[in-house]
Structure 1
Amino acid sequence: MLSAQQETAGESAYRSIRGDIIDGRLAPRSRLRLEALKEQYSASISTLRETLYRLSAEGLVRAEGQRGFEVAAVTQEEFQQLAVLRELLEGYALREAFRKGDLEWEGRVVGAHHKLQAMERMMLAGDTSRSAEWKYYDREFHHTLVSACGSAELLQAYVAIFDRYQRYQIVAVIFRGEPAAQEHGWLLDAALRRDADDAIAVLHEHISACVTHTLNTGQLSSADLDPMPLAHGASEKPTPLTSVGETVWHRIRTDIIAGKLAPGRKLKLGSLRDDYGTSVATLREVLNRLTSEGFVVAEGQRGFDVAQVSAQNVRELAELRLLVEGRALEDSFRQGDVDWEARVVAACHKLATIDADQASSDHQVAEQWTQYDWQFHQALISACGSEALMRLHNAIFDRLLRYQLIAKSYRGRVAADEHQALLDCALRRDANGALDILQQHLRGAMEQALPTAAAEV
């Protein structure tokens, strides 16, 4: 992470505005007027515009074309989606942390709970003046519980979802009193006993009760009354937002995923300015954004590098994609209708027309195969009913795709047969069978990419 001195104006504005949205200082649906933000956050209009587009991609800001920007609404539907996704990620991370955590981890967990418990006692005694501190300690406790899971990718995804979930808690001023404090105690006990099944059961109750409590406050609108733009990762890729920074971000990101900007390459601003036809200031903001996505590494005063690839990272991404896509498949198979079936059949048909054996030697075939592969997997999960889930899946998919394209790891007939098997499971609504095939599909792709990933370290 960059120090305060090393942060660009855009990165500083991004962190400040994002924090103010999550903490409720910028209220849901409030207008984000660039002139007012310029004074408040000491950033230029162009920097603020790029920052708000970035927050729009995260679902925290709503971009309305010529009408400007507003803080995203808080809706019942999104809160429920975030709750499901938080439980999925945190539950999996708890199981791994309980298995891998050592005595040092136990000490951190006990310490974090002690601070949270002290704050909860104050809240229960009627002192609500420090509710912001209570939310901080609540966050610290849950993050410490999962901190030994061993996967940087899982933790990054979890923190992003937790932040958005906690925004709802802060907006609705949620403190459920004694039941919540008791559940935190049970989670601590389960951690010390390394009883993951018990902890996951408590976590389910903890989150479900919070959702019920929040919905009962009546402070959340319905998404039907306030439709949000199509999330990145829905059944069709959205039209890119029209700003210079957004266009350059998309181009550089695409070139990194495709391997045109190789792992470890120095990203010299002068060369990038000529290659991508934009200013150095815009490039700094774009590269900081790509750093937060894991595609670029910021080296302080030394500039920026394309992120390296590694065997550990590809394993973490494959594991995370299996978790997220697996859940989306289950929901999609349960909720999909005949129109969804038709989308899946059509996407599989297009993919089946590509000779995967030619993809390793023909660049044009490889690009087409990659596009149709993405469309097929997106079609399979498109009936899951959760934009939050699809947004996360899309980000993971792109990170893993980078390994595949760098390694040119197209598995030919094997992959084609697995795609057909996934289609058959979809039409039979056989979620368990699809999960087995998906695990085999991802394991095969990962193993083919591993030699290249290991060689780059």
Structure 2
Amino acid sequence: MPQETAGESAYRSIRSDIIGGQLAPRSRLRPEALKDRYSASVSTLRETLYRLSAEGLVHFEGQRGFEVAAVTQKEFQQLAALRELLEGYALREAFRKGDLEWEGRVVGAYHKLESMERLMLSGDTSRSAEWKYYDREFHHTLVSACGSAELLQAYGAIFDRYQRYQIIAVIFRGEPAAQEHRMLLEAALGRDANRARGILHQHISACVTHTLASGQLSSGDVESPSSYYGMRAKPEALISVSETAWRRIRADIIGGKLEPGKKLKLSNLRDDYGTSVATLREVLNRLASEGFVIAEGQRGFEVATVSTQNIRELAELRLLVENQALADSFATGDMEWEARVVAAYHKLATMEAKMASGERQLVNLWKQYDWQFHQALISACGSQTLMQLHNAVFDKYLRYQLIAMSYRGRIAADEHQALYQFALQRDVEGAQKVLFDHLWGGTEQALATGAIAA
């Protein structure tokens, strides 16, 4: 097995300590004070903390530095809703696709969880950390046959953040939770997805109620993660050298300047992006965690390849997330939201008219306005965690469109106009139907170019 870099080791250890509660919410994270504990340099630790801030686990405040993200009632409710959305969909797909091997894994994972819950119910709380580990394993095994690596990756990240709250609040609801796990097993073996989703809703809702009643969560707002597509932009003066390199390399991968499968030689990148090899190594590891780069140990790094399977997974995940965000936005959007939608559509429609007249060199600008329009449509959804995930999936999907340079002309423009009209009419069903045609039409058009390998 390739030797893990100091940066990757520090990332995994700090992340685990935040989720497990060893690093308490709002505790200061000073790289100088952490270097001995995590056996990493100050510069490596700073990059690691920037990486964790993009995941919502660390909060960065300029001159004040880094601290472990707070735990708030609002964020926990957002994470719970997003977990239910992703897990509910993944359960349905896993029940449809799972084979006998999957059933065996589910039964085995349940046996471990049920054994631990018996101990907890008998009064032995000394092994609560193991119980949470087996709880995570059971839920992940249930969805493991869903057939989408992108869905599983997104679900895993949200589940970890959700479980952090459970660990901090030391949540064990006793027999009701154990009974819900038994019913989930029965539904899985019976392939009853509707029943499982109902049980899951009950399971998560009861946990949220129980956690909020503990009184350990702040009633404050959700902190905006200091990621590139965060809800609050970071002042340019506070952007580090490594973050600048991350932005540039990431943009060049999405835009196709760094082609799929291209070997990323650190010596060449050092000259191209004007930063050190050590910084580049940590940036590439960060991009690997996002799915844009493949880390191959001693063999180095390469740009992630593209495939028919992956673009379809991304389209499916984006549709799931954006559909929910549209419904929430249409329900709560006010006049300010409508104005954002009107302004974003005006720019996009103007650019599409220029594209239709033959100005195809504007494709990158068109994609920028396309992103802004879809962002405006969901901007009133009320969940920063939902928007974070949407932005991450959108970028990966956008990469395929830019690689294929696919533009469906009048069809795409008409779909955008329909989305705009349905938004102002608050017609969720109409907008979701158009979005389905929009995403799958764009996917098939990109595949038809032949630029994406099977």
Report the TM-score range of the alignment, normalised by the length of the smaller protein. over 0.9
Secondary structure of residue in 1 paired with 2:145: coil
- Give the deviation of 1:237 after TM superposition: 5.6
Distance in 2 separating the partners of 1:19 and 1:213 = 24
Is 2:82 the counterpart of 1:82? no
Is 2:29 the counterpart of 1:32? yes
- Select which of 211, 214, 224 maps to 2:211: 214
Is 2:98 the counterpart of 1:101? yes
Distance in 2 separating the partners of 1:253 and 1:231 = 12
| Structure-2 change in CA distance of 1:453 and 1:52 (3 Å) | farther
Provide the residue aligned with 1:13 in structure 2. 10
AA matched with 1:209? A
Is 2:255 the counterpart of 1:255? no
AA matched with 1:152? A
- Give the deviation of 1:356 after TM superposition: 6.1
- Give the deviation of 1:142 after TM superposition: 0.1
- Select which of 275, 278, 282 maps to 2:275: 278
Distance in 1 separating the partners of 2:428 and 2:400 = 27
- Select which of 437, 440, 445 maps to 1:440: 437
| Structure-2 change in CA distance of 1:12 and 1:257 (3 Å) | same
Note the 1:163-242 alignment, pairs <5 A. 163-224=160-221, 228=224, 233=229, 239=235, 242=239
Q: Does the 8 A contact of 2:121 with 2:175 survive in 1?
A: yes
Distance in 2 separating the partners of 1:260 and 1:231 = 22
How many correspondences in the alignment?
A: 453
Secondary structure of residue in 2 paired with 1:309: coil
Provide the residue aligned with 1:126 in structure 2. 123
Is 2:287 the counterpart of 1:290? yes
- Give the deviation of 1:82 after TM superposition: 0.1
Is 2:73 the counterpart of 1:113? no
AA matched with 1:97? A
Distance in 1 separating the partners of 2:223 and 2:265 = 41
| Structure-2 change in CA distance of 1:398 and 1:289 (3 Å) | same
Distance in 1 separating the partners of 2:230 and 2:292 = 22
How well do the aligned residues superpose, as a CA RMSD in angstroms? Answer: 1.7
- Give the deviation of 1:36 after TM superposition: 1.2
AA matched with 1:196? A
| Structure-2 change in CA distance of 1:110 and 1:453 (3 Å) | farther
Q: Which whole-Å deviations, capped at 9, do the CAs of 1:231-284 have from their partners, x for residues lacking one?
A: 754667655651111110110000000000001111111111111111111111
Q: Does the 8 A contact of 2:90 with 2:143 survive in 1?
A: yes
Is 2:367 the counterpart of 1:370? yes
Distance in 1 separating the partners of 2:251 and 2:152 = 24
Provide the residue aligned with 2:60 in structure 1. 63
AA matched with 2:251? T
AA matched with 1:60? L
Q: Does the 8 A contact of 1:235 with 1:378 survive in 2?
A: no
Distance in 1 separating the partners of 2:162 and 2:373 = 30
Provide the residue aligned with 2:330 in structure 1. 333
| Structure-2 change in CA distance of 1:235 and 1:423 (3 Å) | farther
AA matched with 2:326? L
- Select which of 132, 137, 140 maps to 1:140: 137
- Give the deviation of 1:34 after TM superposition: 1.6
Q: Which whole-Å deviations, capped at 9, do the CAs of 1:361-414 have from their partners, x for residues lacking one?
A: 757511210111111000000000000000000000000000000000111111
- Select which of 229, 250, 263 maps to 1:266: 263
Distance in 2 separating the partners of 1:146 and 1:267 = 34
Provide the residue aligned with 2:397 in structure 1. 400
| Structure-2 change in CA distance of 1:230 and 1:294 (3 Å) | closer
- Give the deviation of 1:299 after TM superposition: 1.8
TM-score (norm: length of structure 2): 0.97
Q: Does the 8 A contact of 1:310 with 1:456 survive in 2?
A: yes
Secondary structure of residue in 1 paired with 2:390: helix
Provide the residue aligned with 1:379 in structure 2. 376
Distance in 1 separating the partners of 2:332 and 2:101 = 44
Please, which runs of 5 or more residues in structure 1 have no aligned partner? none
- Give the deviation of 1:456 after TM superposition: 2.9
Q: Does the 8 A contact of 2:330 with 2:426 survive in 1?
A: yes
AA matched with 2:298? Q
Secondary structure of residue in 2 paired with 1:456: coil
Q: Does the 8 A contact of 1:356 with 1:411 survive in 2?
A: no
Q: Does the 8 A contact of 2:69 with 2:223 survive in 1?
A: no
Please, which runs of 5 or more residues in structure 2 have no aligned partner? none
AA matched with 1:215? L
| Structure-2 change in CA distance of 1:330 and 1:201 (3 Å) | same
Distance in 2 separating the partners of 1:52 and 1:16 = 12
Q: Is the deviation greater in 235-244 or in 368-377?
A: 235-244
Secondary structure of residue in 1 paired with 2:142: helix
Secondary structure of residue in 1 paired with 2:28: coil
Distance in 2 separating the partners of 1:258 and 1:171 = 41
Q: Does the 8 A contact of 2:59 with 2:223 survive in 1?
A: no
Q: Which whole-Å deviations, capped at 9, do the CAs of 1:417-449 have from their partners, x for residues lacking one?
A: 111100111111001110000000001110011
AA matched with 2:4? E
Distance in 2 separating the partners of 1:235 and 1:336 = 17
Note the 1:408-419 alignment, pairs <5 A. 408-419=405-416
- Give the deviation of 1:223 after TM superposition: 2.0
Q: Which whole-Å deviations, capped at 9, do the CAs of 1:183-203 have from their partners, x for residues lacking one?
A: 000000000000000000000
| Structure-2 change in CA distance of 1:230 and 1:387 (3 Å) | farther
Q: Is the deviation greater in 32-41 or in 377-386?
A: 32-41
Provide the residue aligned with 1:425 in structure 2. 422
Give me the identity figure in percent: 76
TM-score (norm: length of structure 1): 0.96
Distance in 2 separating the partners of 1:102 and 1:18 = 33
Provide the residue aligned with 2:39 in structure 1. 42
